[in-house]
Structure 1
Amino acid sequence: MSHFIHQHRFPVLLFAIVVVVLAMTYIQPSGKAEAFHTKDELDYFALRSNMDLPIGGNGLFKASGECAGCHGFDEIGFASVDANGNDVNVVDDWRATMMANSARDPFWRAKVSHEIMVNPMHKAAIEDKCTSCHAPQGHYASKFMGESHYSISDMLLDPVAMDGVGCAACHQQSQDSIGLLFSGKLKYTTDVLYGPYDAPPPIFGSPMMAWVGFDAQYGPHVETGDFCAGCHTLVTETIDLNGVLTGNHFVEQATYHEWVNSIYVDDQSCQSCHLPRIEDDVVLSTGYSFLEGRSPYGLHYMVGGNTFILKLLKDNISELMLTANETHFDTVIARTRDLLQNHTLDMELTAEGIEADTARYRVRLFNKAGHKFPSGYPARLAFIEFVVTDAVGDTLFASGLLDEDYNIIDRDEDYEPHYDVINHPSKVQIYEMVMGDVNGDPTTVLLRAAFPIKDNRLTPVGFSTSHFAYDTTLIAGLALTDENFNHIDGVEGSGTDDVHYHIPLNGYDGPLNVSAKVYYQAVPRKWLDEMFDFESDEIDLFRDMFEGADHTPELINEASIVDFVTSVRQPRPTERLKAFPSPTSDGFITIEVPESDRMQVTMFDVSGRMLFNESMIVNRRFPFVVPDKAGVYLIRIESQRAVYTTRVVRQ
C-alpha cells in the first residue's frame, strides 16, 4: 500500500537561517572566536538534539514533528511555559512516554511475534488488531484508504505509524463515538483536531489550517474518561490449542471499565491523574506574541506504572531508533515512580496479639488508583514481602523474597492462589490476573485465553460485583470467597484487602521487628517463559535487551512496627491516657504516659483507618498532632508493660 509523506521546505530554510545567525555570533570584531553561549547552555542544546520527530502525513494523520513547531519547546520562553517560566511543552512531555513509543516497544513487538508463531494461520488478524492501538495512525490511515488489513511490515514503512499514539491519534478522535467503541475500534475525523478550550478568547486556528490542514475546534470529549475507552478495554477472541476460533471472548484488559465500576466515574476522569492540570495561564503556540494564555493546562505526562520498559527503552535509544533522549526518559521514569509511590496504594500494618506461640499481624492494602491495581496488560503483578526478625536481626519468618534473578521465591509453578491467611514462608500474596486456556491450564498466550483462573488485583473504591460492568471486570479465584477482599465490616466497595500473617515463634521470647513491603513488577521473568521458548528476530532482540535490563521491582509502599513479645505473653493491662486539650482547635495536644520507654504509637480515625504508626522514644509528657480534619481520633500507645488508649476530638 502507498503512503503519502508531504514535507515542508520552510523548516529547512529556517534551519539554514538559524545556522548562519548562530555562526555569526561567534565572530567578534577582534577576529577572536568567542562562544556566545555558555558551556551549560551548549550542553542543554546538545541534550535536546536527538533523532528528529517524523514530519509529513500519511493520508489521514500528520506526524508529531508537524505539531512540534508550534507546540514544542519555545527557545524564547514565551509559549508552553508555566507561571514560573518552567517548560511544559506537550511534545517533550509526551515523546518518552509508553504512548509515544507504543509502536517501537520491543516487548510488544516480541509478543506479537510470539502470538503469530503460536497461531500462524491468524497472522493477518493478529497484526491488524494489535496495530489498531499500538500504531493507530498507520492502522486507520490504511483503513481510510480502503485496505482490509494492516500489517507490521506496513507499520515499519510509515514514519507516522511509528509515532505510536501520536498527537493526532487522540486529538483527531470523533466526538460521536467516545465511550461507545472498545478493543481498538476508533473513529476519526478527516479535517478537525479537537482541544479542551472554547471561546473566549476565540480559537486562533488559522496557522494550524495553513500549516497542517486541520481545523482547530473545541471538543469537550477530550477531557472525559470515555475518551480513553477505545484502547483501554480490550476484548479478544479465544483460540483453542489447535488454532481454531471457539466463538468465545476474553477480557484481556479493562482499565476503562474498572474506572466505570468505581466511585471516581462521576467526578474524576482518567486525565485527572494521567494528564494532571495546572491553573497557570499557558500560551499554547510559539511565534504569536499576541496570544493569551489558556487555563487550566493539561500536562501531557501520560505516565502509568511501567518503569521497567521505560528504563529498557532509555538503555537502547539508538538500536530502537527512538525520538527521545536519556533526559526525556529520566523525567518520565521519575514521574512514573512518583505516581506509583505516592498515588497508588496505602497500607497499614497492625499487631493483633500473641496466641498459642503465634504472633498475628494484619496487613491492610488500600487501592488509591481509579482502576484495579495492577491494571492493564496481564503480565503485571504486585506482591507483599513480609519479614519478621528477632532482636539481633536474625530472620524468623520471610514471605515474598526475590532470588538473584528477581523471581519470587517459593512461588507455585503454575500460579500462587489468593490468601487471606499466610502462616508459612512458602505462601506469598501476589495480586495478578492469571489467564486460563480452554482446558483450564494457565497460559500467557493471549489468544489462547478463555477465562481468568485468578484475578485478585486490588479493586478501586466503589467497585461492586452488582455493577453493570462487572462482567468485564471480574474477580476470579479465591478472592471471591475472601470476606475482607473489597469489604470492610461487610460493606462492599472499600478498595481494600486484608492479609493476616500468623507467625510461629517456636518459643522465641523477645522483641519482633516486623516489616511489610509491596512491590510491583511490570514484566516478570516467569511470565516470559512461554515466549522465550520461541525464536524470531523480535523475540531474540527483546530477550537480549531483557537480560541486560535492570529488573529491580518498584517499591510501592512499606510499613514496619516493633512488637514486644516478652510482655505480651502475660496479658497487659489497658489503661487510659491523658491527652489535652480535647477538643483541640489547632490539632496540637499534649499526651501524658506513666512511664518513659520506646513505645509503639498508633492513631486511628473513627472508621478504624490507621493514620499514624511509629516506634518512638516516649517521655512521660510529649507533644502530638492530630490531623486538620474535624473528627474523633483514637490514640494507642503500646509499651512492654501496658497498652494505653485515649480519644481526642479535633474541632
Structure 2
Amino acid sequence: MAGTTLRRRYAAGVGIVVVALSGVLYSSAETTPAAGQDYGRPAGLPLPSSVPLAKFEEKLFSFLNDREYVRLGWRPDKGVRDTGPFLDGKSYGTHPAVRVYYSPGVVKWLVGGRVGKIPDGEMIVKEQYPAPAARHRGKSEAVLRASLESWTVMVKDSAGSHDGWFWSNPTAGQCVVDSHQDPFPYPVSGFGQYCVRCHASTRSPGAEASGANNEYTFASLRNIAGFPGEPILFRVDDSWREDARKAKAEPKQDAHPSCARPKAVERPARPADLGFLNFFNSIGSLEPAALRRLPPETHDWAVARRDGSREFVTSNQCMSCHAGLMAPFGPSMYVPAGKTAEYGAAGWDVSPYGEWRWTPMGLAGRDPVFFAQLETEMRLLRDDYRHDPARGRELSETLTDTCLKCHGSMGHREFHREHPGAKFTLDHALAIADPADHPGAGDARYGALARDGVSCAVCHRMQPKPQPACDPRPYLQFFIETATTGDFTVGPKGDLYGPIANDQIAPYAMEHATGRRPKHSPFLKSAQLCGTCHTVTLPNVDRPIAPTDPPDELAALQTVPAYRRFHHHVEQSTYLEWLNSEYENEIDKANPKAKTCQDCHMATGLTDARRGLDRSPLRTRIAAIQDDTYPEAENLAPHADLHVRVREDGSYRRHNFSGLNVFLLELFNQFDDVLGVRKDNFMTGSKEDVSNAIQNFVETARRDTADVRVAAAWPGLNRLTARVAVRNKAGHRFPSGVGFRRAFLELTVYQPARGGQPERVVWASGQTNALGVLIGADGRPLPTEFFDRDAATGSQLYQPHYEVITSPDQVQVYETLLLNAKGEFTTSFVRGCRTVKDNRLLPRGWKPDGPGPGLTGRYLQATHPDAVASADRDYATGSGGDEVTYQIELPRAIDVTDLEVRATLYYQALPPYYLRNLFAAAPDGPATARLHAMASHLDLRASPVRDWKLPVASATTRLKR
C-alpha cells in the first residue's frame, strides 16, 4: 500500500495454509499439543540474583554461544521473523529479525492462557539476525548460525527487581565485560535494564498494571513451532536485495541503542599548568592517574523491588523511558542538528534524563568541589577540637550527614529509613558492591543512591509539608522554618508526581515497569520544591552560645541536637532572595510578574544559533515507550493506555536547570575517568551532551543573567569619566548560592586594534591574570585578592562596595565575605559568624521590609545587602541594578582622539582565594588532592571560562572629543 509502513495479516479459517517464511515451512493446521507434552528440559542455570553478576554472565554466555537451548529441546519460533517493516533499506522493527526459543515453563504458561506468573528460572532467548527475515530464506541451519549477530535474553528471577526479569543483550561470541572500567559502558546484562521501555507495554489477561501476575513478554503461541497460527507479517520491500551481498557490513538498524563494546579511551597527555602549581603550591604536582577516583557510575544502580522495600530508585530506572529516542521511532526528546536522526546523529538531547545528568543537580553526588569542601570542614573541626576529639568527631559526622541530605539525598533518606538515629557517612555515600557482583547489591545501594545526586525520585516525590492545625504561623513561615536545609517531605512510596494533569498522562507503562504511579501535583511547579535545598541554615561551630548572649532565632529552630549550642547563620538564601523580589508568587498568588524557579531554569524551547536551531516551544513526547505508534505486536495493553501525547502547547519543560557553573562541567568533561561518568549517551549515541550543557550555561550567562551599559565623557583635558550600569535579570541575587561565588566588573580604556597593531590598554580596573586573579596596573595580584594584612593596621584587606572608582587597584566585586569568630575571613560553611560585605546584585523588586507575612526575622535579614551597599541608592530602591562611576586620570602622552571604553561583567564559580583556602586546609586529603590535580591539568584555552572567568555581559562606547 502506497504510503503505508505497516501491514497486519492474521490467519483465518480452518483450512490448511502453508506459508514459507525465512526458509522455514509451518502449517496453520497444526493443533495445540496435549497437556503434558514435552517442551524440553530446564536451563539448569542458577538464578541471577543468587550469584555474582560476572559469574552468572559467564554461565549465560556459554549457554548461549553453545546454543544449549537447542540441545535442551526448547520450542522455537516457526522461523526467523520480522519485528517491523523494512522499507528503503531501513528496518522499522523493534528488534532485528528474530527467532525466539522458549524454555518449558514459558510454553506451559502460554498454553495456560498467559495467566499467573512465569516461574523463576524460566527463559526467553531471542536470536537476532540482520533484517529483514526474507534475506535468510532458504538458509541451512549451519549458514543461519553464521548469520547470528546477537541475542536478547530474559531470565525470570522475581527476587531481582519489580519486573522480575534479568535482561541481557550479548553479541555472538560475547565474553564477560567489566563495565566498571573506563569508559564505563552500559552493562550487557542486569536487572532494571532499559528493555522495560517496550516490554512494560504488555499486559497479561485480567492483571492489574503493577500486579505480580502481569508479565513482560510479547510471546504468543502463534509464533511457536507446533502451534496453530502465523506470525504477524509486516511490509517488506525489495530494497534489501540490492545490498544482500553486503549484509555483514550493514549498519545496525533497529530500535535498540548500540550495544557494541567501546574501547578504552585514548587520553592525550595533558601537562600540568606550571603557573597553577607555583601559585597554589600547598600541594605538589599529581598526575590524574594517581588519584583516588570516584566509583564508576555503573555502580549507581538501585532498582525497584516488588516487595516495596525500596524507597528510591536510581535515575537509570527512569532513563529507560525518559531519555532521547532516535530513529526509526524517533526522534523524540531529541533535536537533530542535521537531516538524519539515526543513532549517534549530532544534535541536542532535550530529554529529562539526558539534560539533567549534566547539571549541578545531576552531578551533586559526585561534585569534586563539594567533597573537597567537606574535607576542609572535617580538618578544621579536627584541629578546633584536638583537645576534645570525641566532640570533634560528633560534629564532623553530624555535618557530613547534614550536607548529604541534599548532595546524596536518596542514599541519605534510604539509610535513615532503615537505620534511624545513625549517621550517614562518606563511607556510605562512596560504597560500592564487589565489582563482580550486581551493582548496588546489599548496603552498596546507599552509595548508588547517594551518588545519583538530586535525582529524579527526589523532586518527583516531593510534596508540601503538612502544617499541624494548632500551628499559628503563616504557612510560608512554617515552611521556611521547618522544611529547608534538605528537610523535604515526600509522598507515599508508590507515587511519583508531575505537573501534567492526570487525564493528560498514560500511567500504565510506568506503573507496570516500576510499581510507581505518576500523578498530577501542582507542587512540582512551586518554588518551594527548590527552596528545600536552596535555603540552608548552618551552625557557626566556632561560636557557642554564651549564657549572656541574646537568643539566637535560628538556633532555637534547630532540630539537630549537636547544633543547638551554637549561633547560626543562613548559609544559602537563593529561595529567600526570590521571595523578596517582584517575581514571587508565594504571597501574591496572582502576581502578573511572577516567575518561579522552574519558569527560568527549565526552558520550554531550544535555540542554538551555532546550528541554526530554533524550536520554541518544543513539540515532543515526554516518554519513549512502545506506544500506539509502534508496529503491531502481540499482547499489548489497550492502545488508550499506551497513548503518549505530543506536548505542543509549551508544557514540555526541559530539565536543563540552567546555571553558570561551567567550571564544574569542564571538570567532568575533561576528567570523566577520574569522576566516574560515561560521557557518551547510551540511549541516543550522542557524544555532545556535555558540550551542549556547557553551551546552555553560556547562553544563560549571556541572555538571562545581567545587562551592562557604559557611557563615557571628558570632564577635563585628560580626565575621563565612565559610568557603568549593571542590571540583574535573575529572580534572586547575582551571584547567588554558596557564598564564595563572585562577579566583578572589568573597565578597560584602550586604543582599538588598527593597521595590524593589537589593541592597546591605557587604563584598566578588574583585569585578571591567566588564573583569574585580579591584578593591578603592575600585573601583580592585588593585595585584596587573598586578604593580605595592612602593614599599618594589621587588618585584612578586601575590596569594599564602590560607588566611585579612581584607581586600577579598586575593583567592583559583587560578593559576600564572612568573618569567623576570630575576625578572619573564612570560606568555611560553618564559621560564617559575621557578614562584613554583601553587595551582590539584588533582584528587582527587593524591599527592606520584605514581601509580606511569612518572610521575617533572620530569614528576611539574609536577603539584605551589607550596610555600605544599603546606603547606595541603587540597592535601597530595589531597582535590581548598580551604577559605578570611574574617574580616570590618563597620562598626558596618551592620544585621546582614538579611545574606546569597554565594561565587562565576569562571573567566577571558583575564585582564586577560595581555591587557595581549600588547598591549604587539607592538602593531604584525597578529595582535595583530586581537585588540585584536576584543576592543575584543566585545559581552558578553548573554554568559555578561559582565564578562570565566565563573561556575562559587555558593552563598549567610543570616546568623542
Tell me the TM-score normalized by structure 1: 0.78
Question: How does 1:132-281 map onto structure 2 within 5 Å?
Answer: 132-148=405-421, 149-157=423-431, 158-176=447-465, 180=479, 181-189=483-491, 190-201=493-504, 203-240=505-542, 247-266=566-585, 267-278=594-605, 279=617, 280-281=619-620
Distance 2:657 2:572 in 1: 18
Aligned partner of residue 387 in structure 1, secondary structure: strand
Per-residue deviation, residues 99-143 of structure 1 (Å, max 9, x unmatched): 111111111011111101111311111110110010100111122
Distance 2:815 2:655 in 1: 28
Aligned partner of residue 544 in structure 1, secondary structure: helix
Residue 945 of structure 2 is aligned to residue 559 of structure 1: no
The 1:89–1:47 alpha-carbon spacing in structure 2 relative to 1, beyond 3 Å, is: farther
Q: Post-superposition shift, 1:60?
A: 1.1
Structure 2 equivalent of residue 516 of structure 1:
903
Which is worse superposed, 314-323 or 244-253?
Answer: 244-253
Structure 2 equivalent of residue 642 of structure 1:
none
Q: Which amino acid aligns with 1:231?
A: C
Distance 2:302 2:172 in 1: 19
Per-residue deviation, residues 458-511 of structure 1 (Å, max 9, x unmatched): 111101112145312121152122233x25xxxx11100001000003435622
Q: Post-superposition shift, 1:364?
A: 0.3
Question: How does 1:422-571 map onto structure 2 within 5 Å?
Answer: 422-467=805-850, 468=855, 470-484=860-874, 486=875, 492-507=877-892, 508=894, 510-511=896-897, 512-533=899-920, 534=922, 535-549=924-938, 550=940, 551-564=947-960, 567=961
Distance 1:109 1:87 in 2: 29
Residue 553 of structure 2 is aligned to residue 399 of structure 1: no
Q: Post-superposition shift, 1:8?
A: 6.7
Q: Which amino acid aligns with 1:395?
A: V
Distance 2:241 2:675 in 1: 36
Structure 2 equivalent of residue 60 of structure 1:
311
Aligned partner of residue 730 in structure 2, secondary structure: coil
The 1:454–1:252 alpha-carbon spacing in structure 2 relative to 1, beyond 3 Å, is: same
The 1:303–1:83 alpha-carbon spacing in structure 2 relative to 1, beyond 3 Å, is: closer
Aligned partner of residue 354 in structure 1, secondary structure: coil
Question: How does 1:79-90 map onto structure 2 within 5 Å?
Answer: 80-81=332-333, 87-90=349-352
Q: Post-superposition shift, 1:324?
A: 3.7
Aligned partner of residue 555 in structure 1, secondary structure: strand
Structure 2 equivalent of residue 345 of structure 1:
706
Q: Which amino acid aligns with 1:238?
A: N
Which is greater in Rg? 2
Aligned partner of residue 932 in structure 2, secondary structure: helix
Structure 2 equivalent of residue 301 of structure 1:
656
Contact 2:746 2:904 in 1 (8 A): yes
Distance 2:622 2:458 in 1: 23
Question: How does 1:333-372 map onto structure 2 within 5 Å?
Answer: 333-355=694-716, 357-372=718-733
Per-residue deviation, residues 409-441 of structure 1 (Å, max 9, x unmatched): 125142211111110111011111111112332
Contact 2:718 2:896 in 1 (8 A): no
Aligned partner of residue 499 in structure 1, secondary structure: strand
Distance 1:199 1:461 in 2: 36
Q: Post-superposition shift, 1:357?
A: 4.3
Q: Post-superposition shift, 1:397?
A: 1.4
Structure 2 equivalent of residue 593 of structure 1:
none
Distance 1:273 1:422 in 2: 34
Question: How does 1:111-126 map onto structure 2 within 5 Å?
Answer: 111-120=373-382, 121=392, 122-126=395-399
Q: Post-superposition shift, 1:406?
A: 2.0
Structure 1 equivalent of residue 324 of structure 2:
73
Distance 2:398 2:895 in 1: 64
Distance 2:799 2:460 in 1: 42
Contact 1:79 1:283 in 2 (8 A): no
The 1:341–1:209 alpha-carbon spacing in structure 2 relative to 1, beyond 3 Å, is: same
379, 382, 387: which one aligns with 2:743: 382
Which is worse superposed, 104-113 or 550-559?
Answer: 550-559
More RCO (CA 8 Å, sep 6+):
2
Contact 1:99 1:165 in 2 (8 A): yes
Distance 2:913 2:728 in 1: 25
Contact 1:421 1:500 in 2 (8 A): yes
Distance 1:222 1:48 in 2: 41
Distance 1:418 1:335 in 2: 31
Aligned partner of residue 350 in structure 1, secondary structure: strand
Distance 2:829 2:622 in 1: 44
Structure 1 equivalent of residue 692 of structure 2:
331
Aligned partner of residue 277 in structure 1, secondary structure: coil
Output the aligned Cα RMSD. 3.3
Distance 1:308 1:83 in 2: 26
Contact 1:379 1:523 in 2 (8 A): yes
Per-residue deviation, residues 605-629 of structure 1 (Å, max 9, x unmatched): xxxxxxxxxxxxxxxxxxxxxxxxx
Q: Post-superposition shift, 1:156?
A: 1.3
Contact 1:83 1:281 in 2 (8 A): no
Aligned partner of residue 304 in structure 1, secondary structure: coil
Q: Post-superposition shift, 1:150?
A: 1.0
Distance 2:679 2:263 in 1: 9
Question: How does 1:97-108 map onto structure 2 within 5 Å?
Answer: 97-108=359-370
The 1:8–1:200 alpha-carbon spacing in structure 2 relative to 1, beyond 3 Å, is: closer
Distance 1:368 1:118 in 2: 37
Per-residue deviation, residues 246-299 of structure 1 (Å, max 9, x unmatched): 621111111111111111113211011111125435253421223322451111
Q: Which amino acid aligns with 1:482?
A: D
Contact 2:502 2:519 in 1 (8 A): no
Contact 2:544 2:566 in 1 (8 A): no
Structure 2 equivalent of residue 127 of structure 1:
400
The 1:500–1:137 alpha-carbon spacing in structure 2 relative to 1, beyond 3 Å, is: same
Distance 2:761 2:704 in 1: 31
Contact 1:418 1:477 in 2 (8 A): no
State percent identity of aligned pairs.
26
Contact 1:78 1:286 in 2 (8 A): no
Aligned partner of residue 288 in structure 1, secondary structure: coil
Q: Which amino acid aligns with 1:251?
A: V
The 1:106–1:82 alpha-carbon spacing in structure 2 relative to 1, beyond 3 Å, is: closer
Distance 2:486 2:654 in 1: 25
The 1:546–1:384 alpha-carbon spacing in structure 2 relative to 1, beyond 3 Å, is: same
Contact 2:659 2:700 in 1 (8 A): yes
Tell me the TM-score normalized by structure 2: 0.54
The 1:288–1:351 alpha-carbon spacing in structure 2 relative to 1, beyond 3 Å, is: same
Distance 1:472 1:302 in 2: 24
The 1:502–1:472 alpha-carbon spacing in structure 2 relative to 1, beyond 3 Å, is: same
Q: Which amino acid aligns with 1:320?
A: L
Contact 1:95 1:328 in 2 (8 A): no
Q: Post-superposition shift, 1:6?
A: 4.7
Q: Post-superposition shift, 1:531?
A: 2.1
